[in-house]
Amino acid sequence: MTEKELQRSKSVLPIGTVMRLTELSARQIRYYEEQGLVIPTRTEGNRRLYSLNDIDRLLEIKDYLTEGINMAGIKEIYDQQRKRAAERKEETLTDNDVRQVLHDEFLNISGMERTSGTSLHSQKPLE
DNA sequence: TTTCTGACA
DNA sequence: TGTCAGCA
């Protein structure tokens, strides 16, 4: 399965293609990059190149946004995800594990509503 | 023609 | 976020 992952990690899509695939504006895509949500590679001409994984990422971000989660929340999600990944490095990181984490974090942030500038640490009780 | 950065609303 | 400018 490593072959597949490698291919999915190959950045070959220009932003125009990504725009159509994700239905996001170039503005948004670049902004998400600024936020460190996606890290496209660059061509010699400084053009952004996205991978299939990036598309997935963007689609996921779009989803979270629709769910009413703000940028801070999304950042937290990926931050915690890579944190988990770092911990259980050689550990069995199966797809189920990822889904588990995703589901877990999703429920977690769902409780913080769409307040702005609110971190996961200072959750407010929703009534 | 397409993308890039920076900036203003 | 949209949009415009001025480049490459």
Do A49 and A40 contact (CB within 8 A), yes or no? yes
A15 nearest nt, CA–C1': B3
Whether nucleic acid strand B comes within 7 Å of the CB of A16, the answer is yes
Report whether CATH 1.10.1660.10 matches the domain A1-66: yes
Q: Distance between the two ends of chain A, CA-based, in angstroms? A: 45
pLDDT of residue A5: 86
Whether nucleic acid strand B comes within 7 Å of the CB of A30, the answer is yes
pLDDT of residue A83: 84
- Extract the tokens encoding A22: 């994700």
Q: A106: burial class by Cβ within 10 Å (0-12, 13-18, 19+)?
A: middle
- Extract the tokens encoding A89: 């490095």
The Cα A16–Cα A24 span in angstroms is 10
Chain B positions with an atom below 7 A of a protein C-beta are: 2-5, 7
Give residue limits of the domains in chain A.
1-66, 69-122
Do A85 and A93 contact (CB within 8 A), yes or no? yes
A48 CA – B4 C1', rounded, Å = 9
- pLDDT tens string, chain A, 127 residues long: the values are 788 889 889 889 999 999 999 999 999 999 999 999 999 999 999 999 999 999 999 999 999 998 888 888 888 888 888 888 787 665 566 766 667 767 766 665 555 544 544 444 444 444 4
